[in-house]
Structure 1
Amino acid sequence: MTDAAAPRWAVFANGDFRRYGSARFLTGLAFQMQAVAVGWFVYDLTRSALALGLVGLASFLPAMLSAPITGHVADTYDRRMIAAVAYAILALADLGLLAFAHYGTGAVWPVYALVVIIGTGRAFANPALQALLPTLVPRPLFGSAIAWNASLWQSASILGPALGGFLYALGPAVVFGTAALSFALASALVAAIRFRPAPVSERPPVTWATLSAGLTYIRDHPVVLGAISLDLVAVLLGGATALLPIFAAEVLHVGPLGLGILRSMPAAGAVLTAILLAYRPLQRHAGLRMLQAVGVFGLATLGFGLSTSLPFSMACLFVTGAADMISVYIRQTFVQGETPDAMRGRVSAVNTVFIGASNELGEFESGLLAAAIGAVPAVALGGLATVAVAFAWGRIFPALRARDRLLPIG
């Protein structure tokens, strides 16, 4: 049975995929609640766009610095247990945020320190989980598994910000406590996955060649390199997430609950698109569709930056999420579907760094630019730059533009 003909709900008959998906939903919920609470809490303490940008930098640096190690670990040890331990650490970090929110003195540096710990936990969990997914389902269901996995994550990303904004009205400690519980449950679910990897007869030596193998693999495969770097540059330039507290407070005047709703809109667009892709996977013109999606992402970001209307801003963010989901779906299929299992952890670690750079480092870039020229010009300029990148990448990576099928035939 081909992927196109496989029943779209068949992946849920797999108990391991259900545990995996449930853990992803819980962690998505926790990360989004946490992001709303940390963003509003830091902005409350500092009233500074740069301080918001530093949150993204504190989250990204651990992933960048530890990528060679985390990928090697994911290819050498039990990926389930790596993720389970990492999520347990994230639960403890959220308990630390809870304690600081309750007893803190008003200094912001302890928040950054705990965000660094959270970033480190994510740096170990993400490559392990990304590399684990292709081993849980048969290849004919792989495209649907990626789409449903993304749908579960994005569903949590819809509920999480709104729930985080609602709970923040009860106090930031309530949000951090709920996130800690979600991470703890996710840790237990991942540990309960029954899949056992084949025993490693001989662990590869820890050398620079083995640690950098993921980067070498990506460099030698122009379609994968083009897809990953396109997502990196587009979201790095066009991401507006870090500045949403400013837009909520000073442009749209909607408060923390409105912030939660705004943060939910990209996820709402993404989850609808992910469900459509699960039922109707892309069949042809995958590379061109990715370039087109990034161009639409940039135009919608420009519209959001110039908007002073809450409904129009919500619509623009919805479109950014839908377009980004198409890009993510194609990129993840390229990365996970074509990489040999023995290298999947290291390649996924590099992919995680690129994703982190596009998100967390993009938040830092947004904060710096907004501090210099203002939040509205920063977002509008980023949207225009993203459109330009989509055109440029079609010429720089002709193999990506010409790529037709998501997975190689056979």
Structure 2
Amino acid sequence: MTIRIFRPLRVRDFRLLWSGMTISALGDGIYTVALAWQVYDLSNTPTALSVVGVAWFLPQVASVLLAGVIADRVDRRLLMIFADVLRAIAIGVLGVLSVAGELRLWHVWVLVALYGIGNSFFYPAYTALVPQVVSKELLVEAAALRQFVRPLTMRVAGPALGGAIVAGLGAGAAFLIDAASFGASIAALLLMTARPVIRAEGKTMGSVLGDMRDGVRYVLSQRWLSMTLLAVTFAMIFFLGPVFVLMPFVVKNHLQGGAGGLGLVFAAGGVGALVSSLVMAQRGLPRRPLVVVYVAWALAAFALVGYAEADDLWEAVLVSALSVGALVAGQIVWEALLQRCVPSEYLGRVASVDSFVSSGLVPLSLAITGPIAGALGALVTLRWAGVIAGAILLGFLVVLSAATALQPRPDPGRA
């Protein structure tokens, strides 16, 4: 039996793209450990790390829509090189200052902000470039391969390697190794064939704001797309905060899992992502892909109830594997659906809107979760958050079914 997930690697340019991204993702896993350790070394308070998180996150969200416009104007490969150069410089300077003993907390704020801006330019460009590199028959496998490698590099191998490097050589050395990993990604992108954006015949390049409005108009013209983004917007408010804040709280305080138990729950999520990626790659694009997306994401949301009802650690481990597996399954199909159905000239902007919706509400969700849990209790909040988020997604699925908007048409220009 052929393992379908590896089929896109037969394409030379995708092999280069994926290899560079994988090495870079391994560096990102190293970076997350080094950053936390470095910040606590500079200021041993949780508030300091929170401020660094805001400095990293807000510029990334603020610049992602602009990144989508640029991704639809230039060779996406060149935009990704720019993003990698920016991130390499930011983390390289961070490493040099750390090794020299000259690093201050305000340096970290500025440099992680530049790193976040680099992230915002890289991912819309990547999403839009993949359909230019592989045929539409390989889009599901390409998305699955990306989701397969992320937990391995960013949740397992990267953090483990980062911990060893920080312990043996210091956080500065870890930052420099991460900066070098972007060099591998840049080299791979330079070896790829140039692929300029092909615009529709007779369509000229407008202003940046005009292109933004044009992208929004396109999203609104596609009911399956606009309704799904709206559904995710509402559902994420109830999902993100509880899963990031309350799940660890429950494992620590109700299940008495300790740090090792929490690590086991997170690791189980990684295993669920790996298995889900393999399964979705083998199956290919479902016959009714949007139904699979909604049902998978609703299952992930309802899993919050499972955390609240768990009486033993092994139950939380099982819930984590199922929840993250469902989340990744939906993400794989959704990414392939965007790449298959959205015209290439709009794909960067649509991907940036998708990224903005999925990450832009993190601060709001995190901000309201604590006070609500303080008033209702962590378990009650988890239960209701799961029920509401899942119900929102299933409700939108019913509305789309009634509107017969569940079968988006492939872009006829897609190879």
Q: Which category of TM-score, normalised to the shorter sequence, fits these structures?
A: 0.7 to 0.9
Distance (Å, rounded) in 2 between the aligned partners of 1:207 and 1:91? 27
Q: Give 1:80 deviation, angstroms.
A: 0.7
Contact 1:283 1:406 in 2 (8 A): no
**Matching of residue 20 in structure 1 with residue 17 in structure 2:** yes
Q: Give 1:242 deviation, angstroms.
A: 6.9
Q: Give 1:367 deviation, angstroms.
A: 6.2
Deviations 1:151-180 (A, max 9, x none): 233432342233334444333334323322
**Structure 1 residues 372 and 390: alpha-carbon distance in aligned structure 2, compared to 1, 3 A threshold:** closer
Distance (Å, rounded) in 1 between the aligned partners of 2:203 and 2:145? 35
Q: Give 1:297 deviation, angstroms.
A: 1.8
Q: Give 1:273 deviation, angstroms.
A: 0.5
RMSD across aligned C-alpha pairs, in angstroms? 3.8
Amino acid of the residue matched to residue 13 of structure 2?
D
Alignment of 1:96-107 (within 5 A): 96-102=93-99
Distance (Å, rounded) in 2 between the aligned partners of 1:134 and 1:214? 18
Aligned to 1:216: 217
Structure exhibiting the larger radius of gyration computed from Cα positions: 2
Contact 1:51 1:367 in 2 (8 A): no
Q: State the TM-score, normalizing by the size of structure 1.
A: 0.81
Distance (Å, rounded) in 1 between the aligned partners of 2:110 and 2:252? 26
User: Is 287-296 or 103-112 further displaced after alignment?
Assistant: 103-112
Match of 2:321 among 303, 318, 334: 318
Distance (Å, rounded) in 2 between the aligned partners of 1:371 and 1:226? 30
Q: Give 1:76 deviation, angstroms.
A: 1.4
**Structure 2 unaligned runs (5+)?**
none
**Structure 1 residues 127 and 332: alpha-carbon distance in aligned structure 2, compared to 1, 3 A threshold:** same
Deviations 1:272-295 (A, max 9, x none): 201111111242343333333223
The number of residue pairs the alignment matches comes to: 400
Aligned to 2:228: 227
**Structure 1 residues 10 and 106: alpha-carbon distance in aligned structure 2, compared to 1, 3 A threshold:** closer
Aligned to 2:282: 279
Q: Give 1:13 deviation, angstroms.
A: 1.2
Contact 1:20 1:189 in 2 (8 A): yes
Match of 1:352 among 351, 355, 358: 355
Q: State the TM-score, normalizing by the size of structure 2.
A: 0.80
Aligned to 1:131: 128
User: Is 68-77 or 232-241 further displaced after alignment?
Assistant: 232-241
**Structure 1 residues 400 and 38: alpha-carbon distance in aligned structure 2, compared to 1, 3 A threshold:** farther
Match of 2:160 among 159, 162, 187: 162
Alignment of 1:289-304 (within 5 A): 289-304=292-307
Distance (Å, rounded) in 2 between the aligned partners of 1:34 and 1:379? 33
**Structure 1 residues 248 and 382: alpha-carbon distance in aligned structure 2, compared to 1, 3 A threshold:** closer
Amino acid of the residue matched to residue 215 of structure 1?
V
Contact 1:72 1:345 in 2 (8 A): yes
Amino acid of the residue matched to residue 97 of structure 1?
L
Match of 1:113 among 110, 113, 121: 110
Distance (Å, rounded) in 2 between the aligned partners of 1:334 and 1:399? 19
**Structure 1 residues 397 and 220: alpha-carbon distance in aligned structure 2, compared to 1, 3 A threshold:** farther
Secondary structure class of the residue paired with 1:283 = coil
**Structure 1 residues 178 and 246: alpha-carbon distance in aligned structure 2, compared to 1, 3 A threshold:** farther
Alignment of 1:39-78 (within 5 A): 39=36, 41-42=38-39, 45-48=43-46, 51-78=48-75
Q: Give 1:328 deviation, angstroms.
A: 0.9
Contact 1:223 1:397 in 2 (8 A): no
Aligned to 2:193: 194
Match of 2:259 among 254, 257, 270: 254
Distance (Å, rounded) in 2 between the aligned partners of 1:78 and 1:300? 41
Amino acid of the residue matched to residue 222 of structure 1?
R
Distance (Å, rounded) in 2 between the aligned partners of 1:383 and 1:191? 49
Q: Give 1:271 deviation, angstroms.
A: 2.1
**Structure 1 residues 244 and 119: alpha-carbon distance in aligned structure 2, compared to 1, 3 A threshold:** farther
**Structure 1 residues 380 and 285: alpha-carbon distance in aligned structure 2, compared to 1, 3 A threshold:** farther
Distance (Å, rounded) in 2 between the aligned partners of 1:100 and 1:141? 44
Contact 2:144 2:281 in 1 (8 A): yes
**Structure 1 residues 338 and 202: alpha-carbon distance in aligned structure 2, compared to 1, 3 A threshold:** closer
Q: Give 1:208 deviation, angstroms.
A: 2.4
Aligned to 1:387: 387
Match of 2:332 among 323, 329, 337: 329
Amino acid of the residue matched to residue 389 of structure 1?
A
Deviations 1:59-88 (A, max 9, x none): 332233223421221111121111012112
Q: Give 1:304 deviation, angstroms.
A: 4.5
